[in-house]
Amino acid sequence: MFAKLLFKYIAFYKARRSLALGCSPRLIAGYMAQQRLLGESQSTAPALLVMGEETVKREEQPHGYNFKGVPKPDENGHRLVTLDRVWQLDDILVTSQPKDLCFSFALFKLLRCRFAKYTVSESGFMKAHNFFKDMLLQGDDSERVFRVVADELALIYYYYHSSLPIFYSSHLLLPIFTIAISLYNIGYCLFLMIFISRLLMNGAYNKIFCSFVCFKYNITDYAESGDTTVEYNSSTYYTDVVPAFLVLAALIFAETRDIVFYICSTWTKVALICNYVNRPSWQRCPAAQKCIAFVLQHFRCTMAGNNWGDNMKQFSILELHPKKFRFQLHKWKENSKIPSEVKAAIFETLKRKNLTTDLEGNLKVIRPPSSLFSSWAADHTGDSFLSAPDGKGAAYTILVWHIATTVFEIRRQAPPSSSDPHAIAATHLSHYCAYLVAFCPELLPSDEQWCKKMYMDVEKDAKRILKAVKGRKKQTGSHDQLCQLLTEDSSHEVLRNGARLGMQLADSATMGWEDLSRFWSEMILYVAPSENLDGHAQAIARGGELITLLWAMLAHAGILGRLDATAGDSDKAVTDTDGCAEV
């Protein structure tokens, strides 16, 4: 155990000065500045850093480190590994998963710069922007782009909240030595458990042994009667053995968990791929190829996998049930798996050419929800803020449309079909955006305190209406009466406007779930760009949020802000240029 602590201290000491971890942002900033000066390469993938930075000769510059050329591999296969070299392999990398792991690792290093608050020229990242869009935003594989960004955020989580990365900062043998120590600890604990068990089976006393002796006396003459001694032994209760076994079992579990983390982690797999890239002898050996492919395909474990559970919180301010005619205020958060329909809707919206507006330097900003659906809302309600979130704030628009979506659902007399992908996407995104307003306002572009106050006022008004509804008897068409009560008796304009909009949508012959799905996909992408690095860091620490994943995804696609922020509006400009990870 002391040897393991010593290894951790040595690894931590080296990691602080390592160019692969502690000093990585300075190196990445200088390297990307150098890449900007280079011409277009013939390779499909850009030369993003993956591993091996510590093998490069460098010199310090005002903007970071400069590379003095790329070294040739030594006899141990140590050399800088870039993404373009990984993309050239086609033997063991017949599937996209190994390449995507290295791509996630390269993006993780760029995102690490952003959290370290390094600033570089955005033009140096256009190759990465274009590669991300060409490789991941083309076609129909929405799961792949979500998986790549989720793996990147998982690496960020383990970098800041785990000791696993520090063992890869100096040499690959350090994790091997650590695994060997863990195996020794497991073996020693098993030996102690077997040794103690055999002692007990052979009749040995425990360390805590209690014996009670009772004597029977004659009551009349207080004389001790013969042959009346009774002895009771309590050693069979194992009062000292059970705690010892529990401690040993806990140590075995902890050491086993560490071994699983080392073997199944993304860090180990990327290190294995990079060693394969640097060793021509491995590339010529079919056995090595099969072993690496087996590890990449089968060595998976939820404990060592992505900390983001592919979930999205669900929250509804008003839950209206068309069959039970029940009206209630939700005070809980439901955590559900992100449906594939939600990913597909966001993916298709992200690929639209009219989603963004170009700026100088080949950067982009995202437009407000501007589909025909939101334009219809402005024409029919007379409120322009219902079609663009920059009038009264994004949180205000989200709550209005969330209530409208709920009313639209119950006015159609039936819940959305489980087979309708547009209904699934619209309802899930509506409930998730309501959750952001209620519980994570710091991740939205609106002012956090204003957002909290508005939600508290809406909640208070909803409670008042709920009490009024409960006091009425059930009548036919009660859901229509509830919607009417929202439009007429609500003191807060969010409830009033939301109910009015929802009733108009339900009565329209042209509006449907497909339009709602498109609106909510545009809305969640519109509010995703953010300058609040601390808020997203906290979200990653507690398991991740969908909006954090979309924030990183938009940055990788070169979308760094919102159109209202660059159009001279009164809102604070949001351009997300204070970092080097906008790729």
The yes-or-no verdict on residue 472 having pLDDT over 80 is no
Distance CA 451, CA 446 (A): 7
Higher pLDDT residue, 489 or 395?
395
Q: How confident is the model at residue 503 (pLDDT cuts 50, 70, 90)?
A: confident
Residue 105 and residue 200 in one domain: no
pLDDT, tens digit (0-9, with 9 covering 90-100), for 111-164: 888 888 775 444 456 777 788 888 888 778 899 999 999 999 999 988 888 777
- Residues in CB range of 240: below 8 A, 6 or more apart: 206, 207, 208
Residue 28 to residues 107, 113, 269, 319, 433, Cα–Cα distance (Å): 11, 7, 22, 49, 35
Split into its structural domains, the chain has a count of 3
Residue 91 and residue 198 in one domain: no
pLDDT of residue 569: 39
Last residue of a domain, one of 105, 131, 164: 164
Residue 151 and residue 210 in one domain: no
> Poorest-confidence range of 87-101, 121-135, 536-550?
121-135
Residue 177 and residue 151 in one domain: no
Mean pLDDT of the region 312-338: 66
Any idea which residue has 């053995």 for tokens? 241
Nearest to 311 by CA among 557, 548, 555: 548
Single-letter amino acid, residue 550: L
pLDDT of residue 27: 78
Single-letter amino acid, residue 217: Y
Nearest to 27 by CA among 79, 70, 64, 59: 64
Q: Are 427 and 416 in contact (CB under 8 A)?
A: yes
Report if residue 363 sits inside a domain. no
> Poorest-confidence range of 273-282, 376-385, 405-414, 448-457?
376-385
Please, how many CA atoms are within 13 Å of residue 173, restricted to the half-sphere of its CB? 1
Domain range for 376 is 313-327+371-527
Report if residue 291 sits inside a domain. no
Q: How confident is the model at residue 376 (pLDDT cuts 50, 70, 90)?
A: low
Residue 243 to residues 206, 211, 238, 248, Cα–Cα distance (Å): 13, 21, 9, 9
Query: Mean pLDDT in the chain?
Result: 76
pLDDT, tens digit (0-9, with 9 covering 90-100), for 194-208: 988 887 777 655 555
> Poorest-confidence range of 18-22, 167-171, 246-250, 319-323?
319-323
As a dihedral over the C-alpha atoms of residue 245, residue 246, residue 249, residue 254, rounded to 10 degrees, the angle is -140
Residue 239 and residue 198 in one domain: yes
Distance CA 153, CA 509 (A): 43
Residue 207 and residue 104 in one domain: no
Q: How confident is the model at residue 181 (pLDDT cuts 50, 70, 90)?
A: confident
The strand pairing partners of 329, in sequence order, are: 318
Distance CA 333, CA 358 (A): 38
Residue 253 and residue 392 in one domain: no
Q: Which helix (H) or strand (E) holds 214?
A: strand 211-214
pLDDT of residue 407: 87
Distance CA 144, CA 137 (A): 9
Residue 138 and residue 215 in one domain: no
pLDDT, tens digit (0-9, with 9 covering 90-100), for 423-436: 999 999 999 999 99
Report if residue 549 sits inside a domain. no
The yes-or-no verdict on residue 386 having pLDDT over 70 is no
In the chain, what percentage of residues exceed pLDDT 90?
23
The yes-or-no verdict on residue 226 having pLDDT over 60 is no
Report if residue 52 sits inside a domain. yes
Report if residue 539 sits inside a domain. no
Higher pLDDT residue, 177 or 341?
341
Q: How confident is the model at residue 409 (pLDDT cuts 50, 70, 90)?
A: confident
- Residues in CB range of 470: below 8 A, 6 or more apart: none
Last residue of a domain, one of 164, 191, 214: 164
Report if residue 140 sits inside a domain. yes
